Amino acid sequence: MKAFRGEPSIFASARPEERQAELEVKDLTLRFGGITALNEINLEVSTGELVAIIGPNGAGKTSLLNCITGYYKPQEGQIFFNGEEITRLPTHHLTKLGIGRTYQNIELFPGMTVLSNMLLARHVHSKYNMGGASLFLRSVRDEEVRHRKVLEELIDFLEMQSIRKKLVGSLPYGMRKRVELGRALALEPKLLILDEPFAGMTLEEKEDMVRFLKELHEAWGQTMILVEHDMSVVMSISQRVIVLDFGLKISEGSPEEVQRDPEVVKAYLGEVTRID
């Protein structure tokens, strides 16, 4: 993890304007037939923040992420990223704008190596054309060197040196989650969206992932949106927490404030009935 601890990092050396990740969601409404998955959701995320979105199963958390990343098109409302409306832009365009994501269900190529899976993410930064690649021009070689430097730094950071050439399909589940994080980071995202990154992990794997995310946020200043069910993790690393329930935003604030909110307690535990 040298590059993140002492040596200059390729990522940390980016100019402030290259790290800007101002997200604004206005009155977002998403329906599936007669079911309203999201109802007039409003939220903002500022550059450098780590914001968690929580709520019971079916609250609309993943639907919200799918709207932000272009998989779903809401019927009403708007989404802005760094001042540009992105509500109806295609997913690949959002990736180029700097929105990266991991998935609740791992979306890797099991028959490819760790390094190959991560290398696929670098295509959004490739500037050469087929002709230049065929001739392997000096500019192409220089660009390839930079892509490799980015990947090697990430592999070092995520402590994946020993598995870099292994097939993803041969790895345990928790390690695959780590590879998926590495692939998302290989995009050099301005905004990193994490959909249940701790699901299915052992305690030791969770501790490693918490360590990685905290260092990304504190040392690199990575802007992140985290959807997660593990409340101990959410409350320990988040700066701000947004709570959804049945498609409505019912609470927002610091982890301490949200834990004390009666509406949040009601959403997770139900109505408290006093028995005399």
Q: What is the pLDDT of residues 118-158, one digit of tens each?
A: 988 887 766 655 655 555 566 666 677 787 888 999 999 99
* The predicted structure's pLDDT at residue 220: 86
71's CB contacts (< 8 A; 6+ apart) are 91
The pLDDT-based confidence of 219 (bands split at 50, 70, 90) is confident
pTM of the model: 0.86
CATH class for the region spanning 2-13+21-269: alpha beta
Q: List C-alpha distances in Å: 117 to 2, 175, 189, 221.
A: 23, 13, 16, 25
How large a percentage of the chain has pLDDT more than 90?
Answer: 67
Read off the pLDDT of each residue in 84-98 and give the average, rounded to a whole number: 94
The stretches of the chain forming alpha helices (DSSP H) are 16-19, 61-68, 91-97, 114-120, 130-135, 138-157, 173-186, 203-215, 231-237, 255-260, 262-269
Tell me if 191 sits within 8 A of 214, measured CB to CB: no
Tell me if 83 sits within 8 A of 119, measured CB to CB: no
Q: What is the pLDDT of residues 20-76, one digit of tens each?
A: 999 999 999 999 998 999 999 999 999 999 999 999 988 999 999 999 999 999 999
Q: Say yes or no to pLDDT of 2 above 50.
A: no
User: Position 187: which residue type?
Assistant: L
